[in-house]
Structure 1
């Protein structure tokens, strides 16, 4: 099973042939963000699902009280790029609205039920992030 830097390297080297399919039938995209402090580019392998014309990811960090750094980066600069298999493209990230979140959360928890457990571990509402092609 691939994790972290190795996951990113294998995914990029094989256009997702290695690393796209992950645990328990989930699929992975690569999210490229710009560091809010450093200005450097960071790449994050994340579970995602299609949702209409958009893609969803969850800023869970395993239920940590703090949001993941990638989420803090997109709050500052929502213009990101994505790689899904061999397809790399620009996208705009936004947090799901209060009205959107319940259905989107259920959609993500269908493939990764641990999200429900992560939410129980923290007082912060874990954001669902909507990624739309630019």
Structure 2
């Protein structure tokens, strides 16, 4: 693990960093735009990311969000931590309403079919996610809710 990745993992479990979420998201959005999608704050830290594109469940408009992801064969896993806030992020509600979405991964836009993990599979995957990104454990505690976990499957896309 690189020093940048270790620092990101350390900072990712600090509450004061979560309070900076709006500024971090703005900077990341500008960085993404300036680098034509090749640069994000997480990527600079050596962490894999995807740009998730959903359709707004009420607006019907395209919505994009940059997310940390856990790569898996034929899929990526994302967590609806919402920076440790008490409610699920909008993108999670959008995926529940319309599971067909897209991710931009390494510059390529890929259609995906999302499914929310539950039960024993959730517990198994949650353990792996917290080892991967310890901040998820802190964010779940701060949020006071279970954090939704979604598999974005490349094989099941429409």
Structure 1 and Structure 2 fold alike (TM over 0.5): yes
| 2:28 alignment counterpart | 7
Q: In structure 1, how many angstroms separate the alpha carbons of the residues matched to 2:99 and 2:33?
A: 22
1:83-122 counterparts in 2 under 5 A? 83-122=104-143
* Max Rg structure: 2
Q: In structure 1, how many angstroms separate the alpha carbons of the residues matched to 2:128 and 2:114?
A: 18
**Equivalent residue in structure 2 for 1:27, among 9, 31, 48:** 48
TM-fit CA distance, 1:15: 5.7
> How many residues were matched structurally?
132
Q: TM-score, normalised by structure 1?
A: 0.85
Q: TM-score, normalised by structure 2?
A: 0.73
**Equivalent residue in structure 2 for 1:79, among 84, 93, 100:** 100
Moved over 6 A (4+): none
Q: Which structure has more helix as a fraction of its residues?
A: 2
Structure 1 unaligned segments of length 5 or more: list them. Answer: none
Across the aligned residues of Structure 1 and Structure 2, the Cα RMSD in angstroms comes to 2.1
